[in-house]
Amino acid sequence: MNIQPKKSDWQPPEQISREETIARSDAVLAMPDLPLKQTEDIFRIHALGLDWDMGVMVYEPEDPSQTARGADGNKIGIFLLHGGSGDYKSMEPMARLFAGKFGCKAVAMTFPGRLYLDDPSRDWPGDTINPDGTVRTPIWLDGEHITRDQYEVVRDTSMRMRYGTRTVARAKPGTIFYDRMAAWPVAFELGMKDAMQRHFPPGECSIYLTGHSTGGPMVFMISQRVPNVAGMIAVENSPFGFIQEEQHNWSGALGKVAGHARVTTKKAPRTDPFNELYIRTWRDRARYAGPEALGQEGPQALMRLPWLMEDILDWWDRTKARPQFKAEYIIAHNIRASLEAAARAAAARMKLSDERTEALVQHYLGFPYPQTGPGAKPVPPVLFCISKDSRDHSPDVYREVVLPMFATINPAPKVRVVQWGAGVHTYQKAEDGLPLGIAPPVIDFYVRAIQEGYFLT
């Protein structure tokens, strides 16, 4: 199909009020639902000498003629990644809205190791930390399980201000757990490429990427490595790892949320070893619930702390069937020493030459950065959406850190930021007047941006 791209001067606003957010949500939810086809696709790839089973869930209109097209004339393909502790089910409400309300084919991918391959429901059983001292661990290959003798359980209090006490499973050298913790970054890269090739063929589809929270640096990493990625629809979506590293060091967002004068200080950089798997608990909801309640209710929120804790523990009971473990900090926060150590561990296992080892090290070190230089695809246009009461994504941090650092990329991509007058970091969370949070109006906004030509270069 030869369709001339639709040129447009459409530009996003800097802010959308709460009243407008609710009105847009009501309009989207009142739209008729298209009949959908939902298909799970499990496929095997080979990366760094190991087999890996990858999984995506595909959502698309039953009637192919109802598939939406963008301003470039291509079919709109939406590729979604969950945050660091979830799986495709975390993004299913978004995917179903894209497909069911707007006719966009959506593919929600699960991080390597997060899909519970032992049961068709994909729900993880039990809790993340068991009474016998074992913890929940990834399943990177159907039938392969990490046994207790392959890791040491460590209780870490070094980041207690942010996380409380952290539990980590430290993989022991010489185990398959250790080998996979060293190799998953390349498996993730190849898995994303394969998933997009399978479901969004070049010349037919233009792909728009979104990654919630920790999924953000992963979709930014892949954005230049797949030729038909056309844009970043980045709602509560962390940026490239090298930017996220600086964003972590900048403490102004917390002062803004707390209602105090901002004081910019440097935090200690993250040093997570590549072989440590973070095991999540109710504490990971608590670290967001506090700032969210503060932003929505003010300091008096502390007067109902028992109520808040009940909500947090109820949330944990509902969501512990999701994977709730995490290893992506080494890319998301640009932990160079850990990236290099992972690459060298993988190279040593495969007995690579010195030259190939150094090439693999450089490949790993490149994951948190945009690709530049001759032959590099430019970073595609970016449209950030941030919620009113996000813990980590404030307008100040975008203005003072994120946007200036995007401007240093050569060539600098088109980047805009829109703040919504409602919502929290988990942007599908219900609140008064918004039964699916800000997700419906944000999706409507992104589809309009695609069809109005914002992402055309």
Give me the phi and psi of 49, to 5 degrees please.
Answer: 80, 10
| Residue 175 pLDDT | 98
Rounding to the nearest 10 degrees, give the CA dihedral for residues 366, 371, 377, 380. Answer: 100
> Would you kindly state where each structural domain of the chain is located, as residue ranges?
15-452
Per-residue pLDDT tens over the stretch 67-96: 999 999 999 999 999 998 899 999 999 999
Per-residue pLDDT tens over the stretch 227-267: 999 999 999 999 999 999 998 777 544 444 434 343 444 56
Two tokens at 284? 């990971």
- Comparing C-alpha atoms, which of 333, 399, 104 is closest to residue 230? 104
Residue type, 332: A
| Residue 268 pLDDT | 75
Residue with tokens 């813990």: 391
Per-residue pLDDT tens over the stretch 159-189: 898 889 999 999 999 999 999 999 999 999 9
Two tokens at 237? 């979506």
With beta carbons less than 8 A apart as the criterion, state whether 307 and 370 touch: no
With beta carbons less than 8 A apart as the criterion, state whether 197 and 221 touch: no
Q: What is the DSSP letter of 141?
A: S
Instruction: Classify 264 in phi/psi space as left (phi over 0), alpha (psi -120 to 50) or beta.
Output: beta
With beta carbons less than 8 A apart as the criterion, state whether 391 and 285 touch: no
Q: What's the angle, vertex CA 188, arms to CA 40 and CA 219, rounded to 5?
A: 90
**Model-level pTM greater than 0.85?**
yes
Least confident of 4-13, 105-114, 352-361: 4-13
**CATH class for domain 15-452?**
alpha beta
Local confidence band at 12 (pLDDT 50, 70, 90 cut-offs): very high
Query: How distant, in Å, are the alpha carbons of 126, 379, 413 from that of 410?
Result: 48, 9, 8
Residues 6+ apart with CB under 8 A from 188: 111, 112, 218
Q: What percent of the chain has pLDDT over 90?
A: 86
Give me the phi and psi of 133, to 5 degrees please.
Answer: 95, -5
In this model, does residue 26 exceed pLDDT 60? Answer: yes
Q: Are strands 205-211 and 229-235 parallel, antiparallel or unpaired?
A: parallel
